[in-house]
Amino acid sequence: MTHPIVKLLTQRIALGLLLLLAASALIFAGTQILPGDVAQSILGQSATPEALANLRAELGLNEPALTRYLHWLGAALQGDLGTALTNGQDIATAMGQRLSNTLFLAACAAVIAVPTAILLGLIAVRYEGRWPDKLISGVTLSTVSVPEFLLGYIAMFLLAVKVTAFPSVATIYAGMSLLEKLQAVALPVLVLVLVVLGHMMRMTRAAILNVMQSAYIETAELKGLRPFVIIAKHALPNAIAPVVNVVMLNLAYLVVGVVVVEVVFIYPGMGQYLVDHVAKRDVPVVQACGLVFAAVYIGLNMLADVIAILANPRLRHPK
Distance CA 299, CA 117 (A): 23
| Structure confidence at residue 316 (pLDDT) | 59
DSSP state of 230: I
Residue 165 CB neighbours (<10 A): 11
Residue 215 CB neighbours (<10 A): 7
Distance CA 23, CA 80 (A): 18
Q: Calculate the average pLDDT of the chain.
A: 82
- Lowest-pLDDT range of 59-68, 97-106, 140-149: 59-68
**Residue among 206, 293, 299 at smallest CA distance from 248:** 299
**Confidence at 41, pLDDT banded by 50, 70, 90:** low
- Lowest-pLDDT range of 80-89, 105-114, 179-188, 310-319: 310-319
Is residue 98 over pLDDT 80?
A: yes
| Structure confidence at residue 236 (pLDDT) | 75
Which alpha helices (H) appear in the chain, and where do they start and end?
Answer: 4-32, 38-43, 49-59, 65-77, 91-126, 131-145, 148-155, 178-184, 186-211, 215-222, 227-229, 236-238, 240-256, 259-264, 270-279, 283-310, 313-316
Is residue 216 over pLDDT 80?
A: no
Higher-confidence residue of 162 and 239: namely 162
Sign of CA dihedral 249, 251, 252, 257: positive
| Structure confidence at residue 318 (pLDDT) | 57
DSSP notation for 90-115: BHHHHHHHHHHHHHHHHHHHHHHHHH
Q: What is the average per-residue pLDDT within 194-222? A: 82
Is residue 18 over pLDDT 90?
A: yes
Residues 128/230, Cβ–Cβ less than 8 Å: no
Report percent pLDDT > 90 for the chain: 7
The per-residue pLDDT for range 99-129, each reduced to its tens digit, is 888 889 989 999 999 899 988 888 888 888 8
Which residues in 250-268 are b (16+ Cβ under 10 Å) and which e? Answer: bbbbbbbbbbbbbbbbebb
Most confident of 130-144, 237-251, 302-316: 130-144
**Confidence at 36, pLDDT banded by 50, 70, 90:** low
DSSP notation for 156-168: IIIIIIIS--S-S
| Structure confidence at residue 175 (pLDDT) | 80
**Residue among 183, 189, 182 at smallest CA distance from 262:** 189
3-state secondary structure of 83: strand
Distance CA 251, CA 175 (A): 27
Instruction: Give the predicted TM-score (pTM) of the model.
Output: 0.82
Name the superfamily (CATH) of residues 92-281: MetI-like (1.10.3720.10)
| Structure confidence at residue 189 (pLDDT) | 92
DSSP-assigned beta bridge partners for residue 83: 90
Residues 144/198, Cβ–Cβ less than 8 Å: yes
**Confidence at 42, pLDDT banded by 50, 70, 90:** low
- Give burial (CB, 10 Å; 0-12/13-18/19+) of 56: middle
The per-residue pLDDT for range 266-280, each reduced to its tens digit, is 888 888 888 888 877
Higher-confidence residue of 102 and 306: namely 102
| Structure confidence at residue 143 (pLDDT) | 83
**Residue among 169, 180, 190, 174 at smallest CA distance from 101:** 174
| Structure confidence at residue 19 (pLDDT) | 92
| Structure confidence at residue 111 (pLDDT) | 92
Is residue 22 over pLDDT 90?
A: yes
Is residue 1 over pLDDT 70?
A: no
Is residue 301 over pLDDT 80?
A: yes
Distance CA 105, CA 258 (A): 9
